Structure 1
Amino acid sequence: MAFNCVNHEYYLNFGDRVLAMIRKIFHNNPEFRHDSLKHAARFAPIIPFMSGRPDLSKTLKRVVTFPDHSNSLYFGCPIILAAGANKTAKRICDYANMGFGGISVGTATRNFREGNTHRPRVGFIEEERAIHNSMGLNNEGVEVIARRVDAQLAKAHKVGLCVGVSVAETPGLTNDEDKLKDVVESFAIAYKAGDYIEINVSCPNTGESRVDMDLSLTEKIFSEIMKFRNSQTLRKAVYAKISPDLSECHLVNIMDMLVRCGVNGVVVGNTYPTKKISELPVQTKFEDLTPLRADGDCGGMSGRPLYENMVWNVKYIREHYPQMSVIACGGIDHGFKVFDLIKMGVDAVQCYSVVAFRWMAAHSMRKELAAALKETGYATLQDYDNHNPKVTTLK
């Protein structure tokens, strides 16, 4: 695939400088920004200089369909707030105020988790416009989260949000059978609530081995998950969230396995293990980072430096596995990037770190995406899709 993505730049405006000042003032309390996002989303419509409201125009609406006739997904725009931003599933509709067309809540585990008790567990890398974290999958448990999603889903659809639920294995389990039972139970509970389910098998932030490093266990998990899914009356889409640091051989093995199991798509990808930060286009070194766990680890990195790596993975998957739906995640901070990825065959994108560096980021990215469409002669994203159908041939 010859198409090349440019790491488009945006220029700081007044709001971006306000965010920079907030980060500087609260540099000793880096979780403040993470915790304050829910308040910004809630009050965006009534704060004059934010002026954030749901955008219900048809310009950027997108419908994602699947070759196996799983339920289609309806996004107000193809920009999704990634898992980790709203771990509680409270006040989901508020995030439409910030311009998002979808949201993945969680990540949820089978039961309540406090997460990593070390402080700090979040760090900013200002010069790279990046964040690293080791939150440790703190959440209230999948039953609580699924119940909240179910209660809000209809309202979320009215404000243009497609809602996914992200689930993961509970850290601390040592027996493969226990791990398998744990993930499948969480999936079954989440399945009743979300529009789609995202299985996180690649979290580098818990201090334990990632599930995607054990291909045998990973295949058992997805086989059981899809067996459950196929037994249900409603066929909801299932996505696997994979790591961005896989070798080509490991990526092929995982993708082949996901195809065999009938998984609908992949989220490409998760946070990048900071131990491998030298593989990214950054000046920062691992030893420069703030330790986020008692063992000295610095967790996983997200933000602008992940973009080139993510694009390589997306290109490879779209070329070799055209039947798989792809949601791109990693370093996406500009609407032109979103359009570049759409031209590569991506169904939607996820982002989160950008909201720490760019004022009302999703709204800005929507404007840029609409401008990119207009430059190429399309009035709406639907027009583009009608004239540029994706290749989804089953192998």
Structure 2
Amino acid sequence: MGFDCINHEYYLRFSDRVLALIRKIFHNSPEFRHDSFKHVARFAPLIPFMGGRPDLSKPLKRVITFSDHSNSLYFGCPIILAAGANKTANRISDFANVGFGGITVGTATRHHREGNTYRPRIGFLENDRAIHNSMGLNNEGVEIIAKRVDAQLVRAHKAGLCVGISVAETPGLTDPEEKLKDIIESFSIAYKAGDYIEINVSCPNTGESRVDLDMSFSERIFTEIMNFRNTLGLRKAVYAKLSPDLSERHLIAIMEMLVRTGVNGVVIGNTYPTAKMSELPMEAKYEDLTPLRADGDCGGMSGRPLYENMVWNVKYIREHYPSMSVIACGGIDHGYKVYDLIKMGCDAVQCYSVVAFRWMAAHAMRNELYDALLNDGYKSLGEYDDRNPKR
């Protein structure tokens, strides 16, 4: 881990410029643009110039194993579509068409949520290749989402997708016991369906206090979740999705707690709280985000500016908690970045914002990742893993 992780640049192709034109045309409809990706995924195989097909070739397949013998995870490639892209769990296998090897659906709460009611709830920052969102965990409820995942899981696996479900506590609950009951119920429902479960304890866009800032309550949640999981015959992996803005002291405290409670891994990290955006290398200024800031600054930033911060967190976790599975998330928009993170010890990466700025982004990143492997003398990720065992 004694090397720098470069914020690799990609160069705009004609197709990327077409995508930029589409963003410009729909400038006043940011949520429509955000939501339209599912239609791109669905129809990509039918439009010749899009080149959308599941890639079932072997060189980029990735298997994640766990020291506690939890079920291994099988990804068509280590590039996962992050939670927020498919909140409904409809037509999951479509997302293999656009190059992903895994998908996390949700985030789901115990019951249906409309999310934040003001508009707009999302904005694109072109110069920074970043997105601000304050959707407010809109979803149809974990029972509906889990049923859809269960019905589609075999088909998704055939398309090369590993499917996780992201769950979070329902915003608005005030009684700690009610909060705990709520998230345990959501976890137990999601657990029956997903290949892995991601506990989102760091969502900044609901106006509620983040769970990962309350160490005592966080420990209660993960203790109960892991105790419940360990009573079941089937041991599925559990990941905690952490915020990228934690101080070193807080990161140590939460990682020690996750190790202590037996959580399998972390997704590092979530969107970066908008109120702290001055800490990121961005052109956009805090005061530029009106009317998005009408939400009371409870939204989060995603995209390219998060990369350097995310890398610092990943390096720290990999160095001090080598047994913990790590999925990197934040500013990953190039296949060489994926390769750098794998060399640092990450099992996989998550991304979403990049699909707004790169045409068929995951396919492009696959090609770049494969090129990076070949440049280092490897014919596949499997060969890389055989020659560089992590643990």
The bucket for the TM-score relative to the shorter chain is over 0.9
Native 8 Å contact 1:53 1:97 kept in 2: yes
Residue 331 and residue 96 in structure 1: after superposition, are their counterparts in 2 closer, same or farther (change >3 A)?
same
The answer to whether the Cα contact below 8 Å between 1:291 and 1:298 also exists between their aligned partners in 2 is no
1:208 shift after superposition: 1.1
- Maintained 8 Å contact 2:197/2:238: yes
Question: Offset of 1:297 from its aligned partner?
Answer: 1.9
1:177-188 equivalences in 2 (<5 Å): 177-188=177-188
Q: Which residue of 2 is the match for residue 218 of structure 1? A: 218
1:233 CA displacement = 0.6
* Structure 1 counterpart of 2:273: 273
Residue of structure 2 in register with 1:258 after alignment:
258
1:157-236 equivalent positions in 2, closer than 5 A: 157-236=157-236
Aligned-pair identity (%): 80
Q: Does 1:386 align with 2:380?
A: no
Unaligned runs of 5+ in 2: none
3-state SS, counterpart of residue 16 of structure 1: helix
- Give, in whole Å, the separation in 2 of the partners of 1:213 and 1:64: 29
Counterparts of 1:196-345 in structure 2, within 5 Å, are 196-292=196-292, 294-297=294-297, 299-345=299-345
What is residue 75 of structure 1 aligned with on the other side? Answer: 75
- Verify the 8 A CA contact 1:290 1:298 in the aligned structure 2: no
Counterpart residue identity of residue 277, structure 1: M
Q: CA RMSD in A?
A: 0.8
The answer to whether the 8 Å contact 1:134/1:293 transfers is no
**Cα shift at 1:331:** 0.2
Aligned to 1:131: 131
**Which residue in 1 is equivalent to 2:20?**
20
Contact 2:44 2:52 in 1 (8 A): yes
**Equivalents in 2 of 1:292, 1:150: separation in Å?**
36
What per-residue deviation string (whole Å, max 9, x for no partner) do you get for residues 126-163 of structure 1?
A: 10000000000000000000000000001100010000
Q: Residues 268-298 of structure 1, C-alpha deviation per residue, up to 9 Å, x if partnerless?
A: 0000001111111112211111333644426
Q: Which runs of 4+ in 1 moved over 6 A?
A: none
Aligned-partner SS, 2:165 = strand
AA in 1 matched with 2:275: K
Residues in 1 aligned to 2:16 and 2:123: alpha-carbon distance in whole angstroms: 18
Counterpart Cα distance in 2 of 1:149 and 1:109: 15
Shift of 1:22: 1.0
| Aligned counterparts of 1:315 and 1:295: Cα–Cα separation in 2 | 33
Within 5 Å, give how 1:53-132 maps onto structure 2. Answer: 53-132=53-132
Q: Which amino acid aligns with 1:116?
A: N
Name 2:358's counterpart in structure 1: 358
CA distance in 1, matches of 2:186, 2:16: 38
Deviation, structure 1 residue 51: 1.6
Residue by residue over 1:317-368, the C-alpha shift from the partner in whole angstroms, topping out at 9 and shown as x without a partner, is: 0000001000000000000000000000000000000000000000000000
**Paired residue total:** 391
TM-score by structure 2 length? 0.99
Q: Identify the residue that residue 374 of structure 2 maps to in structure 1.
A: 374
1:321 partner letter? Y
1:289–1:298: 8 Å Cα contact kept in structure 2?
no
Matches within 5 A, 1:33-48: 33-48=33-48
**TM-score normalized by the length of structure 1:** 0.98
Whether the 8 Å contact between 1:156 and 1:162 is mirrored in structure 2 is: yes
Q: 2:156 maps to what in 1? A: 156
SS in 1 for 2:386: helix
Counterparts of 1:95 and 1:43, CA distance in 2: 10
Return the letter of the residue paired with 1:66: F
Distance 1:291 1:171 in 2: 23
- Distance in 2, matches of 1:56 and 1:123, equals 34
Distance 2:294 2:122 in 1: 13
Output one character per residue of 1:201-260: Cα deviation in whole Å (capped at 9) or x when no partner. 000010111011110000000000001110111100000000000000000000000000
The secondary structure found in structure 1 opposite 2:292 is coil
Q: What's the CA shift for 1:116?
A: 0.4
Which letter does structure 1 place at the counterpart of 2:12? Answer: L
Instruction: After TM superposition, give the deviation of residue 89 of structure 1 in Å.
Output: 0.1
Secondary structure of 2:74's match? strand
Contact 2:204 2:298 (8 Å CA) reproduced: no
